[in-house]
Amino acid sequence: MEKVKLLGTWSSPFVQRVVWALKLKGIEYEIFYEDFANKSPELLKYNPIHKKVPVLLHNGVAICESLVIIEYIDETWKDTSPFLPHETLDKANARFWAKFGDEQALPAFYDIYKKQGKEQEEAKEKTLANLKLIEQQLNEKNFFNGENIGFLDLAFGWLADYSRPLEVISDVKVLDEESFPKLCAWREKVLAIPAIKESWPDQETLIAKFRKIKESKGQ
């Protein structure tokens, strides 16, 4: 019997994408919630480099970094719901855009929530440009890889479940239906998937949590 544990927090989009991956594959797992003010000995032991969540423990062996974990899950449990596309070129494309998401699109989006005034305006402009590029990748497909949810949908998962709460708090709307009809339709499709719907963090609680973080940092 395989033992799968996840060290996480309920509010991290990086943990959330791993939760989705596990649920989509139908993998039984146990989640342990970390308190960042008081990190668990397990977190310090299994991710000594970054001391961050998510950490996946598979039969006691640790895998860190959310996108690395998702590739690991996909390669280990390959019989159900493949995440990475089959063709090498499509795979490269998915990895390129996942990197773009984490290094460019997500930080800019998060800055809208974190910053004020001119800096917030700049983050908004950057985000609109990024979303335009992401929307083009989606094109006429239901999901980034075609008919089924895959690696890039998980990588862009924060756009589905965190964009609205962050927009509410910052009172800046970027992902609107008129400008990004395909991305908005994609969001609805992602969030309607049962495995995702049941693990989608409650939006009001998420808003309250991120509002509190913002206030505590005096942003």
Residues that bind a copy of itself (CB under 8 A): 49, 58, 61, 63-65, 68-69, 71-72, 75-76, 88-89, 91-92, 95-96, 99-100, 133
At closest approach, how far in Å is the CB of 187 from a copy of itself?
Answer: 22
Q: Which helix (H) or strand (E) holds 39?
A: none
Q: Which of residues 39 and 91 has its CB atom nearest to a copy of itself in the complex?
A: 91
Q: Which of residues 95 and 211 has its CB atom nearest to a copy of itself in the complex?
A: 95
At closest approach, how far in Å is the CB of 14 from a copy of itself?
Answer: 13
Q: Which of residues 104 and 120 has its CB atom nearest to a copy of itself in the complex?
A: 104
At closest approach, how far in Å is the CB of 22 from a copy of itself?
Answer: 15
**Contact at 8 Å (CB) between 122 and 97?**
no
At closest approach, how far in Å is the CB of 47 from a copy of itself?
Answer: 10
Q: Which of residues 103 and 204 has its CB atom nearest to a copy of itself in the complex?
A: 103
Q: Which of residues 78 and 212 has its CB atom nearest to a copy of itself in the complex?
A: 78
Provide long-range contacts, Cβ within 8 A and 24+ apart, for 196-204: 196/20, 196/23, 196/24, 196/149, 196/160, 198/23, 199/16, 199/19, 199/20, 199/23, 200/161, 201/10, 201/11, 201/16, 201/161, 203/161, 203/164, 203/165
Helix, strand, or coil (residue 60) = coil
Q: Check whether the bond before 54 is cis (ω within 30° of 0).
A: yes
At closest approach, how far in Å is the CB of 99 from a copy of itself?
Answer: 6
